[in-house]
Amino acid sequence: MVMRDSRSAGTSGRQMADLLVLAPHMDDETLGCGGVLALAEDPLVVFAVAPRDKDIEIDAVAELLGFRYVVLHSAEWEARLLSLDRRELVRRVEGILHAERPSHVLIPAPSHHQDHVVVFETGVSATRPMSRYGYVARMVASYEYPGSVWGQDGHEHELNCYVDISEVCSRKIEAVKRYQGSQAGRPVAEPEVVTAWARLRGSTIGVPYAEAFRILRLVDEGFPR
């Protein structure tokens, strides 16, 4: 497991994430919730596998969006997460969650890609309320990304949480551009498409740009009396 703090600001002491994002591959976090990452105070991204492309500028992306990151498995496991021991994968994610104790956890929507299905199911298991560690995240939600809505696998029709990312959308798009060398032949990951996607979601709530999520669990402080 590789851990890296790529933020430019100096910090001291142990870090505790306010937001934890599970991402199958490097770029899923930016495409799906790059805006929310940029808005968070101390986000942590847990990548399931390292990329085969050695030219990916992950440290530049992490600094741009302000997140720390962890890589669980080497590149040889890309597109082969189905072969991993699921119990062990859940245990490792559980350990990170309970060490960081984030209030918000975002997991990828299931899609046609087997790695995304594995990470979604791992995230659901690792955030279950009967966890032996006794920690429960206040909000667990799945994030969409270009491709997750193929056949409505990403439950696009069930999106029920929108976040205004207008003030940081330019940073998200800049991060998307950092991945362009590894995105050849993937029009859905082009900056223009990602911008249009954010514009579409923004139009739903009356703001310039937004990201949308499907809440799986939300612990409310209580209704107004």
- What is the percentage of the chain residues whose pLDDT exceeds 70? 81
Q: Is 114 exposed, middle or buried (0-12, 13-18, 19+ CB in 10 A)?
A: middle
Q: What is the pLDDT of residue 8?
A: 39
Residue recorded with tokens 């991402």: 23
| Global pTM exceeds 0.85 | yes
First to last CA, the chain: 47
Asked if residues 204 and 162 have their Cβ atoms less than 8 Å apart, the reply is yes
Choices 3.40.50.10320, 3.40.50.2020, 3.20.20.140, 2.40.160.20: CATH for 16-218: 3.40.50.10320
* Predicted pLDDT at 174: 96
Mean pLDDT, range 115-142, rounded to an integer:
87
Task: Please report which confidence band the pLDDT of residue 50 belongs to, taking 50, 70 and 90 as the band edges.
Answer: confident
d(CA 20, CA 31): 15
Domain ranges of the chain: 16-218
- Kindly write down the DSSP assignment for every residue of 118-160, as one continuous string: HHHHHHHHHT-TT-TT----SEEEEE--TTTTGGGTT-GGG--
Pair 176, 189: CB distance under 8 Å: yes
Mean pLDDT to the nearest integer, 125-141: 84
For the stretch 178-193, pLDDT in tens is: 987 655 556 778 899 9
CA distance 158 to 215: 9
Cα separation, 225 vs 222, in Å, equals 9
Grouping H, G, I as helix, E, B as strand and the rest as coil, residue 104 is strand
